[in-house]
């Protein structure tokens, strides 16, 4: 049934905004937020670039004859742009350490958007300011749809996969200089590939999802540029994304205050390489054990109260794989009790099978409590002397209320990148990312093989 369009729909409004907005329109606080997200993304992507899942994905692509000349972050090999987006997006997710926007749902917007524009930028002399604007606008689109459509209604979608590709398509459309009509088409073609199930959480294939979204967003924009047609209302139409994915109409809030505020400013950075909903527990157990000088050997039990969504998303009480241990409140508490921090090596196979952590995990009880926020937790530790120690974490480290500083993020970046690129080149890449607004070739961010 054709609709008579009498006023622009939400998708068109978003596209109009993408077309009309340029680097010079963006407030400094927004640009600062964009820079932090870029640095964090490059850190986690280079840091994850040699993970076994990335190796597996590349082997699979090579066995299918893929090849090309676009560099991969933190790696020596090259591939075509579409698959470079897939691989770099996957690299950024394998450590579960990327930035997150948690306004009304959970989305990791950098993972789909940045790999798409980075692969596109190779050999195209895209300026730093243009690249940064495209990134921020792509994140805007991905997060607005994520929060607007999936904030209240989500039967089990991996939202990064569902709306990330639409944001990536918008970002590449911006770099291609597409008009609003073609930008809508790019977003629609990406919406037609929107996918990702929470059932995958705790398995390796989850990390492919932002890569898949990056790949599809990039190709969608190029298809729209080549004239492939698509519907005018892919998000808000009768059989569009909102109705079909959630059974509810796209809300008007989707386009509210466009340009008055930017979603990227709500992007937050993890201090710990595991599910963000475990952070309040890691923070609380670490601080309680440090402050009260609790030795892990003296712990009789740890009782956690967390938000229902935390109990659900990090509910692997007895994790069976290293990956599941990142989505395990019991493992998070065991690690924090032992080390008063949590690092990449604490979510390895070796750590999973460590008898000390395993024993501590069985001493952890998790209560889901309505009213607690995702970054909130109550921690009670009973020691063998029958004493109880309690701490309430109102806002976990890394939350919007207690964010990582620029220096924290740089330190995180170097911790991840130095082992891959060496100290000198890690510092060089960090400098280039921080000064990207002065670059005439943003694609050269990928010219640091490792």
Site for a copy of itself in 27-86 (CB under 8 A): 52-53, 56-57, 59-61, 63-70, 80-83
Write the binding mask 324 to 363 for a copy of itself: x where contact by CB under 8 A, - elsewhere: x---------------------------------------
Told to check if 277 binds a copy of itself by CB under 8 A, we report no
In sign, the C-alpha dihedral spanning 350, 415, 28, 184 is: negative
Write the binding mask 208 to 227 for a copy of itself: x where contact by CB under 8 A, - elsewhere: xx--x-----xx--xx-xxx
Burial class of residue 253 (count of CB atoms within 10 Å of its CB; 0-12, 13-18, 19+): middle
Indicate the residue among 237 and 398 with the shorter CB distance to a copy of itself: 237
71, 129, 237, 296: which one contacts a copy of itself (CB under 8 A)? Answer: 237
7, 28, 76, 156: which one contacts a copy of itself (CB under 8 A)? Answer: 156
**Number of residues binding to a copy of itself, judged by CB under 8 A:** 80
Q: Using CA atoms, how far apart are residues 401 and 156, in angstroms rounded to an integer?
A: 27
321, 368, 383, 444: which one contacts a copy of itself (CB under 8 A)? Answer: 321
181, 298, 301, 312: which one contacts a copy of itself (CB under 8 A)? Answer: 312
Q: Which stretch binds a copy of itself (CB under 8 A): 18-26, 240-248, 340-348, 414-422?
A: 240-248
Told to check if 169 binds a copy of itself by CB under 8 A, we report no
- For the residues of 364-420, what is the DSSP string, one character each? EEEEE-TT--TT-EEEEEEETTS-EEEEEESS-TTSSSSPPPHHHHHHHHHHHHHHH
Told to check if 233 binds a copy of itself by CB under 8 A, we report yes
Write the binding mask 177 to 206 for a copy of itself: x where contact by CB under 8 A, - elsewhere: --------x--xx-xxxxxxxxxxxxxxxx
Residue 224: its H or E element: helix 208-225
Cβ atoms of 273 and 342 within 8 Å: the answer is yes
Q: Count of alpha carbons within 13 Å of 377, Cβ hemisphere only?
A: 33
Told to check if 323 binds a copy of itself by CB under 8 A, we report yes
Please name which of 328, 291, 300 lies closest in space to residue 312, comparing C-alpha atoms.
Answer: 328
Residue 328: phi, psi to the nearest 5?
A: -140, 110
Told to check if 387 binds a copy of itself by CB under 8 A, we report no
Give the shortest CB-64-to-a copy of itself separation in angstroms. 4
14, 18, 119, 391: which one contacts a copy of itself (CB under 8 A)? Answer: 119
Give the shortest CB-172-to-a copy of itself separation in angstroms. 10
6, 76, 247, 386: which one contacts a copy of itself (CB under 8 A)? Answer: 247
CA distances (Å), 343 to each of 44, 70, 338, 339, 396, in order? 13, 31, 12, 9, 16
Cβ atoms of 202 and 314 within 8 Å: the answer is no
Indicate the residue among 55 and 292 with the shorter CB distance to a copy of itself: 55
For residue 377, what are the β-bridge partners? 306, 393
Told to check if 96 binds a copy of itself by CB under 8 A, we report no
Cβ atoms of 376 and 396 within 8 Å: the answer is yes
Helices (H) and strands (E) in the chain, counts: 18, 8
């Amino acid at each position: 049934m054709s609709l008579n369009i009498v006023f622009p729909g939400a998708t068109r409004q978003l596209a109009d905004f993408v077309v009309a907005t340029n680097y010079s329109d963006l407030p400094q606080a927004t640009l600062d937020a964009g820079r932090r997200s870029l640095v964090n993304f490059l850190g986690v992507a280079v840091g994850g670039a040699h993970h076994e899942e990335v190796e597996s994905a590349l082997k699979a692509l090579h066995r299918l004859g893929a090849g090309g000349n676009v560099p991969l972050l933190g790696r020596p090999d090259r591939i075509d742009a579409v698959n470079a987006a897939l691989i770099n997006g996957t690299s950024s997710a394998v450590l579960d350490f990327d930035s997150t926007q948690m306004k009304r749902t959970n989305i990791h917007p950098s993972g789909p958007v940045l790999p798409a524009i980075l692969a596109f930028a190779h050999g195209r002399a895209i300026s730093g300011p243009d690249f940064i604007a495209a990134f921020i606008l792509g994140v805007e689109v991905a997060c607005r749809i994520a929060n607007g459509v999936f904030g209240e209604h989500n039967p089990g979608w991996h939202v990064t996969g569902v709306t990330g590709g639409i944001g990536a398509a918008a970002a590449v459309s911006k770099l291609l200089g597409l008009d609003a009509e073609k930008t809508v088409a790019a977003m629609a073609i990406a919406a037609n590939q929107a996918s990702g199930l929470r059932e995958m959480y705790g398995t390796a294939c989850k990390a492919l999802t932002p890569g898949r979204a990056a790949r599809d967003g990039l190709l969608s924009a190029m298809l729209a540029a080549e004239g492939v047609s698509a519907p005018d209302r892919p998000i808000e139409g009768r059989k569009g994304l909102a109705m079909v994915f959630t059974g509810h109409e796209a809300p008007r809030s989707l386009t509210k205050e466009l340009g008055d505020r930017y979603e990227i400013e709500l992007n937050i950075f993890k201090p710990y390489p595991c599910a963000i909903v475990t952070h309040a527990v890691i923070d609380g157990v670490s601080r309680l054990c440090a402050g009260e000088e609790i030795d892990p050997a003296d712990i009789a039990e740890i009782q956690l109260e967390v938000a229902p969504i935390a109990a659900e998303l990090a509910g692997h009480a007895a994790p069976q794989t290293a990956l599941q241990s990142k989505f395990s409140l019991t493992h998070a508490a065991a690690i924090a009790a032992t080390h008063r921090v949590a690092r990449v090596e604490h979510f390895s196979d070796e750590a999973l099978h460590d008898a000390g952590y395993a024993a501590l995990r069985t001493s952890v009880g998790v209560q889901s409590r309505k009213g607690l926020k995702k970054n909130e937790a109550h921690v009670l530790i009973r020691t063998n002397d029958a004493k109880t120690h309690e701490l309430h974490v109102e806002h976990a480290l890394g939350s919007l209320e207690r964010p990582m500083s620029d220096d924290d993020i740089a330190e995180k970046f170097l911790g991840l990148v130095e082992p891959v690129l060496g100290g000198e080149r890690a510092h060089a890449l960090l400098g280039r990312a921080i000064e990207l607004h002065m670059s005439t070739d943003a694609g050269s961010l990928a010219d640091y093989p490792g």
